[in-house]
Every structure is written in structure tokens, then in C-alpha cells.
Amino acid sequence: MSLDQTFITNSSWKPDLFKGKVVFVTGGAGTICRVQTEALVLLGANAAIVGRNKEKTDAAAIEISKLRKDAKVISCPNTDVRKVQSIVEAVNKTIKELGRIDFVIAGAAGNFLADFNHLSSNAFKSVVDIDLLGSFNTVKATFVELRKNKGAILFVSATLHYYGVPFQIHVGAAKAGVDALSNALAVELGPIGIRSNVIAPGLVDGTEGMDRLLTTSKSNAQTKIPLQRLATTRDIAEATVFLFSPAASYITGTVQVVDGAAWHLGSTKKDEYPVLIKQKNEETVTKL
């Protein structure tokens, strides 16, 4: 669900809340990070959309730029977050065209379902490289601008590492690292005015991740969430606006979970355990 002008008229935020600010977004062409960016742009910010796929990244930048008549939204395609120099090139383009960077959303991520027996070392490394190393590289490349502008960082994490989730070992390990990275950065960078926080979405309706990973019906998934509904991309965007806003100027080193309290009930995949897990692990060939 993309946002439009009605977000300004029916939200709690001032229309020019982020006027003059620039947000640098890895994974900005994806579903969740795109709507995060749309909210910031509608509230006055300019943006750099950073991604690997040129067609998707270019299209997202053009479409988001149409949300506000004076918006400047640039595309930084062919950027690989696993390579810090690749992000540096995107940062240099952003500064050249938009003049500054105030906010960073580290949202590039990879995911797929795989049990340990079939999860290769290379596949595990690939997710850790994108999610964790990519997050580190993103902050490393934008650090000078963040220091200059006393900016703020927001990592997009998950709740998978709060408990044992089958088929998500790789993602849980990577996201646990992202949370630890943010906590350490909040402590180290706080004295120079940089804030670092994490947003941890639960099941978000209409996203590629949910479509790929949800192994039960939506209605069944909703019954396991205390608020009795799936999250929307707007729910994540609203939390993002708050964490970047002056209202959160004393908030750093936190993890904002946006999941309707679902994680308190444990894994949504627990119905599959232990029969399916036992079956997978009894297969004779372990993938290396």
C-alpha cells in the first residue's frame, strides 16, 4: 500500500516536518522501505533511493518524486551494500544532487525459507552480508554527513531472533547482529549528536516477504496477533516518522517493535514444529 496526499491531511504530523532534510534509503525500492520514504517525502524531505536493480530503483524514485510538487528524489541504482565503495558512490551522488544527508534508513535485506539441513554456508553468509555487513557499510559511508548534520540512523530489523524460528536461522542471526550494531552505535555516536534506533516489523500485509514466508492463511495468522490484524506498511511508516522527528530527539539505542504484540506469543510457525523439522533433519544429505 503506497501513500498519497491524504497522508498529510489525516495523519498526526505537520506537513513540513522534514522540510530541508534528506533521507538516504537502502532498499528504498522495496515495499516497506519505499513507504517509509514516501511518508518522509510527503512531510517535506528529499530522498535518495538506493538499490541494486536499476529498473526498480529508477521507477521508485520517479514515482515517489510525484508525491510532492517540489520533491527531489534521486535514484542510486547498481549499488551493492555488501561493498562499501559502492555505497560511497551513492553517497557522493546524493550530496552532489541533494546537498546533504540527515537521515539514513538501512533497509536492504535478503530472505528465504531454509531449514539448517538444507541451508548452505554460502547462503547463510549471503544473508549476513546483505543484512548485517550491508547495514554497517551504509552507516560507514554516510558517517561524515551524519556527523556534520547531527543526523539519525534507522535500521530495519525483525523479531525473529527473540525466540527460535525454524527456517529463519540465517535471518535471525543477521538481524540480531543489526540490533547489536545499532545499540553500540547509539553509545559511540551519541556524544556527537547522532541517534541510532531499530524498527522491527512483524507480519506486514502486502509485502513480498510475507507472501514468501507466511505458511498459513492471513486469517489464521491474524488470530495469533493480539491486535487481531496484520501490520500495514503505513504502520511502519508512522513509527519511522516518529523516530526521525524532533519528538524522538532523546530516543536512541532502542528497538521499536511494530507487530501488534505478536512476538510475545512466540513463533507463528510453531504449529509446524516438531513434525516438519524432524522430517527435514532426517534427510540424509546436509548441504554445505
Q: What are the residue numbers of the active site?
A: 157, 175
Q: Are 243 and 251 contacting, i.e. CB atoms less than 8 angstroms apart? A: yes
Residues 6+ apart with CB under 8 A from 284: none
Give every CB contact of residue 91 below 8 A, 6+ residues apart in sequence: 24, 101, 141, 142, 145
Distances (CA, A) of 174 to 84, 124, 159, 188: 18, 9, 11, 21
Phi, psi (deg, nearest 5) at residue 148: -65, -40
**Which of 258, 260, 253, 261 is CA-nearest to residue 36?**
258
Listed in sequence order, the residues at least 6 apart from 6 whose beta carbon sits closer than 8 Å to its beta carbon are: none
HSE-up of 134 (CA within 13 Å, CB side)? 28
